[in-house]
Structure 1
Amino acid sequence: MACIAFETGETFRSNIRNAAGSGAVGLIQFMPATARGLGTSTEALAKMTAVEQLVYVRMYFKPYAGRLKTLSDVYMAILWPKAIGKPEDYVLWSKGTRPTTYRQNSGLDVNGDHDITKAEAASLIQAKLARGRLPGNLWREA
């Protein structure tokens, strides 16, 4: 739920679209190719309720069963599966070596050092988890 909160800007809306224009949509920001691989489309996903879309979230995560040992690994399954199981200081993207990908994800560079680490990206998810555990934070259909 913390990952979904982050990916949807805490709206939990199944039709939310990526603000950067990547074509991603939904609870875990399904990319068009990912949606096709799951036998659907981003258009169809956007028309589903959050509960209906959870079927596709489950399908998406199924190949990672048994590999997601930490919250950061769960988020890496969504953001950058190559980083699953890597140490927390693993650099996902660096401004010097992957400038476009870095730019698209620069908001994850918490310390501003031009390297986005697994820990930095996951810290934002951890913050959503902490916020979600506060009294009175019950999810309501948006």
Structure 2
Amino acid sequence: MAWGAKVSAAFRETLFEIAAALDVDPDYLMACIAFETGETFRPDIRNAAGSGAVGLIQFMPATARGLGTSAEALARMSAVEQLDWVRMYLKPYAGRLHTLSDVYMAILWPKAIGKPEDYVLWSKGNRPTTYRQNSGLDVNGDHDITKAEAAGLIQAKLARGRLPGNIWSGS
């Protein structure tokens, strides 16, 4: 499991259960969590851009409320406890998350699940606030953030998570 050496046995076991239930590659989910937490896997990590997002998949405050909790409550949970909320959040997308980019889109911009890789998530002209909050994803600097650009950063996390010292092989 990518990044599996960086988390507890209980975390790995719970993540494997979630991946099986949602028909998601566990490495894809781990790469997304590694990206969203800056490789810390901490449930209390806050969004550096000031969006108010917190946790393993950077739950926005409104998203947390929609799930029946709060960003503050999520931040107080253990990583394993918060995985239950990750499962709840991703459940509506079960069976649709076959690519790394679609798993990340479920977290970042669910509207893009199943869209082509050149699909524009946000542009500076049409969604300036959302663009600004995610401008680090605009890899080529053209003021459009595509699904491929966003997922490219997750692909890099996946590759890093599969390096010796990060990977867990079950032994």
User: TM-score band, normalised by the shorter chain?
Assistant: over 0.9
1:21 aligns with 2:13: no
Match of 2:82 among 48, 53, 63: 53
Q: In structure 2, list runs of 5 or more residues that go unmatched.
A: 1-29
Secondary structure in structure 2 of the residue aligned to 1:28: coil
Say how many residue pairs are matched.
139
Output the CA distance in 2 between the equivalents of 1:47 and 1:96.
Answer: 37
Structure 2 length-normalised TM: 0.79
1:138, distance to aligned residue in structure 2 (A): 5.1
Q: Secondary structure at the match of 1:92?
A: strand
After alignment, is 30-39 or 71-80 more displaced?
A: 30-39
CA distance in 1, matches of 2:61, 2:126: 26
Aligned equivalents of 2:72, 2:65: Cα separation in 1: 11
Equivalent residue runs for 1:44-123 within 5 Å: 44-123=73-152
Gaps of 5+ in 1: none
Please give the alpha-carbon distance, in whole angstroms, between the structure 2 residues aligned to 1:46 and 1:138: 26
Distance 2:167 2:45 in 1: 19
Show CA shifts across 1:77-131 (max 9, x none): 0100110000000000111221221111110001111110000000000000000
CA distance in 1, matches of 2:94, 2:122: 25
- Corresponding letter in the other structure for 2:58: Q
State the identity %.
91
Higher relative contact order (CA 8 A, sep 6+): 2
Instruction: Give the superposed CA RMSD.
Output: 1.1
- If each structure's helix is expressed as a fraction of its own residues, which one has the higher value? 2
One-letter amino acid of the structure 2 residue matched with residue 14 of structure 1: P
Q: TM-score, normalised by structure 1?
A: 0.94
